[in-house]
Amino acid sequence: MFSTNFAPSMTTGKKYDVVITGSGLGGLLCANLLAMRGMKVCLLEKNKQFGGNLQTFSRDKQIFDTGVHYIGGLEKGQTLYQVFKYAGLMEQLKIEQMDERFDKILIENDDQVYGQAQGYTSFQNNLVGAFPDEREGIVAYCNKIKEVCSSFPLYNLTLNPSTAELYKGNNESAALVIASCTQNKKLQAVLAGNNLLYAGDINTTPFHVHALIVNSYIESSWKCIGGGSQIAKILVASIRKNGGEIFRNRAVTSIKEEEGKITHVVTEDGEQIKGSYFISNIHPAATLAITESALLKGLYKKRIVGLNQSVSSFSIHIVLEKRPSLMKTAITIFIKRGRFGN
Ligand SMILES: Cc1cc2nc3c(=O)[nH]c(=O)nc-3n(C[C@H](O)[C@H](O)[C@H](O)COP(=O)(O)OP(=O)(O)OC[C@H]3O[C@@H](n4cnc5c(N)ncnc54)[C@H](O)[C@@H]3O)c2cc1C
């Protein structure tokens, strides 16, 4: 059944260099970088709004972010700053630095608020203030994070692995490494307190996932003024300026192979969009489900489709009534399950 709510067909008969499915941050960034390099890019998004988790919505004149609430590593010279600058985002992005304590961890039946602060010195001092006997463990934890992050060349924007001592402990669990730094259960919970950021799971999450994400926020934490959707808007404009084409309300329903090569995708309205290269920026299982190719072995498909999903989150966005003593503010409550540290 075909919906009538599609963008006018501008893709018929064309052949693009690259066809990208999904306009989340990954798809937008790829499309922008490739278009900047002169490639003929077509980006297809199934939703009305571009951006995936960068989408915002508003209620009572308050803007709410659905996904990207704060961003790490955006200070001049830091990794994401350099990526965003290269993509042409930094000149236009309206951001503000978060409070020194970018995350505040609350623990059941405990009135204290535990801060995670920006900058390693502040991060350590804040926690030592709350856990004076645990200085050694806190320092060991910070050193371990820095050590792990320095052994991922791409994370540090270097392509030459020989310049870094590559990380060997891929299977070290985050929970076990944290426990090796401190026996204090409450401190363990505070260190793992923002694990929603990476869907942390006590049994499966490796330490490097924890370290790479937490490190970027400790380096510096930022918020988009007016919501994260501005990232999507800037990238969409840049893609178009660089000759790329980007369409909303265009769900890709199949990815087709002919003679051992992917040749085109088909959209929900039945249109075939041809390209030389194809990038799928949607869930791997969803990609496999729509890929019609004899090259993909059944066993491989079964393994990917059978992988455990990470935890879900349920957000409640609340606008509080304005009162003289109470600033109008929005609270996001995440209800999670199955993670560690709380
Ligand atoms: C609740 C929550 C809070 C988060 N908070 C933060 C945060 O504070 N800071 C931070 O840095 N990160 C945060 N993240 C993570 C961040 O939002 C994501 O990592 C990032 O936005 C993911 O981008 P993506 O490009 O991988 O995919 P997505 O954003 O998932 O985009 C995928 C896109 O593909 C489209 N699509 C799917 N199927 C098709 C199809 N068949 N055809 C065409 N289009 C299709 C979807 O509609 C979507 O637009 C959060 C995530 C969540 C869920």
CA of residue 196 to ligand 1 center, whole Å: 14
Nearest CA to ligand 1 atom 4: 67
Residue of 53, 78, 255, 271 to test ligand 1 pocket, by largest number of atoms within 8 Å of CB: 53
pTM of this prediction exceeds 0.75: yes
15-63+228-305 under CATH 3.50.50.60, yes or no:
yes
Domain ranges of the chain: 15-63+228-305, 70-224
205 lines ligand 1 (CB under 6 A): no
Instruction: Give the containing element (helix H, strand E) for 256.
Output: strand 252-258
Query: 264 in helix, strand or coil?
Result: strand
CA–CA separation, 228 and 300 (whole Å): 36
CA of 242 from ligand 1 middle (Å) equals: 24
To the nearest 10°, report the CA torsion of 228, 231, 236, 237: 120
Q: Is 92 close to ligand 1, i.e. is its CB under 6 Å away?
A: no
- Each residue's pLDDT tens digit in the chain (342 positions)? 333 334 445 666 789 999 999 999 999 999 999 999 999 999 999 999 999 999 999 887 888 998 899 999 999 999 999 999 999 999 999 999 999 999 999 998 999 999 999 999 999 999 999 999 999 999 999 999 999 999 888 899 987 766 556 677 667 999 999 999 999 999 999 999 999 899 999 888 999 999 999 999 999 999 999 999 999 999 999 999 999 999 999 999 999 999 999 999 999 999 999 999 999 999 999 999 999 888 889 899 999 989 888 887 788 888 777 775 554 444 444 444 434 433
Distance 307 CA to ligand 1 centre (A): 19
Residues near 178 by beta carbon (within 8 Å), at least 6 away in sequence:
141, 188, 191, 192, 207, 210, 341
| 45 Cβ closer than 6 Å to some ligand 1 atom | yes
3-state class (DSSP) for residue 195 = helix
Given a contact cutoff of 8 angstroms between Cβ atoms, the answer to whether 44 and 50 are in contact is: no
Residue nearest to atom 34 of ligand 1 (CA): 22
Task: Report CA 69 to chain centroid distance, whole Å.
Answer: 10
User: Ligand 1, closest atom to CA 290?
Assistant: 41
Paired tokens of 201: 């799971």
300 Cα–ligand 1 center, Å: 24
Dist. CA 56–CA 44, nearest whole Å = 19
Bridge pairing between strands 71-72 and 221-224: antiparallel
Using DSSP's 3-state secondary structure scheme, residue 164 falls into coil
